[in-house]
């Protein structure tokens, strides 16, 4: 069973009341319930956490090493400022997908820069809460492909079958 960690950054606890025209009306509780339902259906072992503190997010990323197979993170405002979150993702080398509810590339210039994107497996931006489910699906497919490649390369190479010689008698 894949063990996946979902991290929500600052102000995402205010979903449902915060800038509804941008982030929609679903509360974080509703988003997490949809993630949990999807995880159950796909048989993922899922842990979901939210923090308004950069250091707490960094600590959770550090602790993910050896405990989780992959991370889905919406770093929220820290996307555009946090070298510490980027460094933590690089340090643990746990495959990580970046998610944004809104399309950050269509918004203010300062949101176009993500410190996380360069070290993430992928970035999903603009699909609202469905972005988390797409990220989990993509991450699971990536991890399954990586595992089957590892198994194939571990298997001893089969020698080429010997050429048969025809008897002429």
Q: Can 23 be counted among the known catalytic residues?
A: yes
Distance CA 18, CA 159 (A): 63
Per CB under 6 A, the segment of 89-97, 99-107, 115-123, 154-162 that binds ligand DQA is 99-107
Distance CA 36, CA 42 (A): 10
Q: Pick the catalytic residue: 23, 78, 112, 142?
A: 23
Is residue 77 close enough to count as binding ligand DQA by CB under 6 A? yes
Q: Which of 104, 116, 120, 133 binds ligand DQA (CB under 6 A)?
A: 104
- Alpha helix ranges (H) inside the chain: 20-23, 28-42, 54-63, 83-92, 130-154
Q: CB of 135: closest distance to ligand DQA in angstroms?
A: 12
Distance CA 77, CA 116 (A): 11
Is residue 101 close enough to count as binding ligand DQA by CB under 6 A? yes
Q: Which of 47, 52, 102, 130 binds ligand DQA (CB under 6 A)?
A: 102
Q: Can 8 be counted among the known catalytic residues?
A: no
Based on the number of CB atoms within 10 Å of its own CB, is 21 exposed (0-12), middle (13-18) or buried (19 or more)? exposed
Q: By C-beta, is 47 or 102 nearer to ligand DQA? A: 102
DSSP state of 110: G
At residue 11, what are phi and psi to the nearest 5 degrees?
75, -5
Is residue 100 close enough to count as binding ligand DQA by CB under 6 A? yes
Is residue 79 close enough to count as binding ligand DQA by CB under 6 A? yes
Q: Which of 111, 122, 127, 130 binds ligand DQA (CB under 6 A)?
A: 111
Q: By C-beta, is 26 or 143 nearer to ligand DQA? A: 26
Contact 168, 36 (CB under 8 A): no
The footprint of ligand DQA on this chain (CB under 6 A) covers a number of residues equal to: 10
**Residue 143 CB contacts under 8 Å (≥ 6 apart), including other chains:** 2, 69, 70, 95
Question: Which residues are designated catalytic?
Answer: 23, 100
The contact set with ligand DQA (CB under 6 A) reads 11, 74, 76-77, 79, 100-102, 104, 111
């Amino acid at each position: 069973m894949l063990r996946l960690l979902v991290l929500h950054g600052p102000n995402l606890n205010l979903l449902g009341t915060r800038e509804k025209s941008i982030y929609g009306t679903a509360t974080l509780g509703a988003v997490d319930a949809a993630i949990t339902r999807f995880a159950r259906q796909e048989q993922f072992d899922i842990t979901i956490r939210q923090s308004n503190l950069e250091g707490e997010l960094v600590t959770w990323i550090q602790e993910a090493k050896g405990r989780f197979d992959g991370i889905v993170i919406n770093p929220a405002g820290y996307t555009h400022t946090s070298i510490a979150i980027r460094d933590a993702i690089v340090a643990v080398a746990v495959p990580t997908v970046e998610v944004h509810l809104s399309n950050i590339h269509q918004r203010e210039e300062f949101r176009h820069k993500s410190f996380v994107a360069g070290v993430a497996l992928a970035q999903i931006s603009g699909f609202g809460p469905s972005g988390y489910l797409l990220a989990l699906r993509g991450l699971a497919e990536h991890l399954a492909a990586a595992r089957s490649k590892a198994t194939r390369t571990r298997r001893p190479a089969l020698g080429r079958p010997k050429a048969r010689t025809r008897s002429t008698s």
